[in-house]
């Protein structure tokens, strides 16, 4: 399915700012309720932005509940989930080990979710098969988005880049099939090293998925370097959603989108915004840049 050209990012909702922790905390305070967040989403819709990137952060449950409560919002909003919320598993893995952390998450599910998983739940807990656990965790993580329209479901770069580095094509196959079978949508990958990801898919003999990756004129989080990323971003046979286009506010919007317009592979941008004035400016500049392709 085609990507939405402009996607509202979620970092401001969760207090994430890669250049200033203080600024990130202030934005989180400004958007301290799901009601305020969805008000911003509705302002974005009024301007013409009908898509939202949303990770499986604990706060996402309240945001999705508020979106469902507003039927007009839910009816024309496309969600691009990003899973898993890595910090949750990192914290638990440090405390009890990765496998036990995954199993602990499964055991905390509701009775309804366990019934949905059916016999798979008992089998995976007994066998502790890694791929069975992956399937179950995906279904549980995406439960927060029930009754909302999901488009591409992106695997977080913390997990995706690890999978690529360890040369684990079966993990991606499991992830992709689970997304397609249980949610009827497309699986994508977030990565901080697009050239390496493409080499891996070539080695695996698999068509590359939709990618979510950093694209900005400062080369911020573009690995192994901006020049090598620019080379692959010139390909017309790739589908890329660009994130970090403003490098956390380091780059002026006009300069940022001028750079985006040069890359054939970039058909969509995901930008976090916390103020209506920023929404309007970003929509106008991004729309102009993407129309030039």
Instruction: Check: CB of residue 144 under 8 Å from CB of residue 155.
Output: no
Top-ranked range on mean pLDDT: pick from 55-59, 113-117, 170-174: 170-174
Alpha helices in 97-234 (DSSP H): 98-107, 111-117, 119-127, 130-141, 157-165, 169-183, 194-204, 226-233
All structural domains of the chain, each given as residue ranges with its CATH number in brackets, are 6-85+151-291 (3.20.20.100)
Rounded average pLDDT over 48-59: 91
Q: Which has the higher per-residue pLDDT, 248 or 197?
A: 197
- Mean pLDDT across the chain, nearest whole number? 84
Q: Are 44 and 31 in contact (CB under 8 A)?
A: no
Among the residue ranges 65-79, 99-113, 220-234, the one predicted with the least confidence is: 99-113
For residues 116-137, average pLDDT = 61
pLDDT for residue 110: 56
Q: Which is more confidently placed, 106 or 45?
A: 45
Spatial separation of the C-alpha atoms in residues 238 and 234, rounded to whole Å: 9
Copy the structure tokens of residue 158. 């913390």
Each residue's pLDDT tens digit, 241-277: 999 999 877 899 999 999 999 999 999 999 988 778 7
Q: Is 146 exposed, middle or buried (0-12, 13-18, 19+ CB in 10 A)?
A: exposed
**Over the stretch 8-28, which tens digit does the pLDDT of each residue have?**
998 878 755 545 556 545 554
Coil/strand/helix, residue 80: strand
């Amino acid at each position: 399915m085609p990507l939405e050209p402009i996607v509202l990012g979620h970092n401001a909702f969760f207090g994430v700012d890669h250049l200033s922790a203080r600024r990130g905390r202030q934005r989180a305070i400004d958007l301290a309720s799901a009601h305020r967040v969805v008000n911003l989403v509705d302002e974005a819709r009024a301007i013409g932005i009908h898509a939202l990137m949303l990770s499986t952060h604990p706060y996402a449950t309240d945001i999705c509940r508020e979106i469902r409560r507003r039927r007009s919002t839910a009816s024309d909003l496309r969600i691009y989930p990003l899973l898993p919320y890595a910090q949750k598993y990192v914290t638990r893995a440090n405390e009890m080990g990765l496998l036990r952390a995954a199993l602990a998450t499964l055991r905390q599910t509701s009775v309804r979710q366990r019934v949905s998983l059916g016999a798979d739940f008992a089998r995976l807990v007994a066998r502790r098969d890694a791929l069975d656990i992956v399937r179950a965790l995906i279904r549980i993580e995406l439960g927060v988005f029930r009754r909302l329209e999901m488009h591409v479901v992106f695997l977080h770069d913390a997990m995706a880049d690890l999978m690529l580095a360890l040369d684990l094509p079966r993990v991606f196959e499991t992830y992709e099939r689970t997304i397609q079978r249980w949610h009827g949508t497309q699986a994508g990958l977030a990565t901080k090293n697009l050239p390496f990801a493409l080499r891996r898919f070539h080695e695996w003999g698999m068509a590359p998925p939709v990618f979510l990756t950093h694209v900005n004129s400062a080369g911020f989080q573009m690995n192994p370097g901006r020049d090598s990323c620019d080379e692959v971003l010139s390909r017309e046979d790739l589908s890329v959603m660009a994130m970090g286009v403003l490098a956390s506010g380091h780059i002026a919007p006009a300069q940022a989108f001028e750079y985006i317009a040069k890359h054939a592979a970039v058909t969509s941008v995901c930008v976090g915004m916390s103020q209506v004035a920023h929404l309007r400016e970003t929509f106008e500049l991004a729309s102009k840049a993407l129309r030039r392709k």
